[in-house]
Amino acid sequence: MSAVAARFEAVRRQVADAADVAGRDPSDITIVAVTKTVGVEDIRCAVESGLRAFGENRVQEFLGKYGLFPDVDWHFIGTLQTNKAKDVVGRACLIHSVDSLHLIEEIAKRAAAAGVVQDVLLQVNVSGESSKHGFRPDDVREALIEASRSREHLRVRGLMTMAPFGRPEDARWVFRDLKELRDSLREMPLNGVELDELSMGMSNDFRVAIEEGATIVRIGRAIFGR
């Protein structure tokens, strides 16, 4: 067994344990292996180990790795500039990092041109840190209304956030607040808005995120090492 396979198996066990604590089904949680700076051989080991969802932060790396491994699900999880949206739309099964009304419009336009429906998550800056991107929680409702106008080519599947790095328990309130926000917004009767997914939790805090309702966890270091 490769080192990548062994670490992935350890992560799977931790996901299952956290789901059990929360009374959830582990199969409802998607592990997205983050491939930022990860080489081709390690990605190949991950695929051979059974991983089927991968996330990339940078557009150029996304395009290269997508081309080498087209048979797995590629997520785009990094900051996406509007002039790069055309390179990601139709290739990413899910764009996690939609953080502005302008980007919503651009993705919808590019999806319409490509004749596809692009699944996205709205990134929410729950912690309010200036170093993080995302909508303010109070602005997400307006973003959902804007996204619903592009329902033919844009589908909002849920919300994403990044918690402050530190003790996992200190991040719990961020994950809890995102879930509460998502649950409150589900009451809005908008076409093209589903809000089934919560992308939250990374290598250091994914167990807490799962306990608070994460359906997608983005894990790099715990699978690929440092």
Q: What is the pLDDT of residues 55-108, one digit of tens each?
A: 999 999 999 999 999 999 999 999 999 999 999 999 999 999 999 999 999 999
pLDDT at 145: 92
Our measurement of the distance from residue 177's CA atom to the centroid of its chain's CA atoms, rounded to an integer in Å, reads: 17
Distance CA 98, CA 68 (A): 25
Q: 1 pLDDT band (50/70/90 cuts)?
A: confident
Total number of domains constituting the chain? 1
Residue 181 inside a domain? The answer is yes
Distance from C-alpha of 105 to C-alpha of 98, rounded to nearest angstrom: 10
Q: Domain limits at 157?
A: 3-77+84-220
- CATH number (domain holding residue 61): 3.20.20.10
Q: Please report whether residue 226 resides in a domain.
A: no
Q: Is residue 150 over pLDDT 80?
A: no
Domain contains 99: yes
> Is 184 within a domain?
yes
- Residue 225 counted as domain residue: no
Q: pLDDT tens digit string along 163-214?
A: 988 898 999 999 999 999 999 998 888 877 889 999 999 999 999 999 999 9
**E strand or H helix at 54:** strand 53-56
In a domain, 130, yes or no: yes
Q: How far apart are CA 195 and CA 15, in angstroms?
A: 22
Q: Is residue 43 part of a domain?
A: yes
Q: Do 46 and 54 touch, CB atoms closer than 8 A?
A: yes
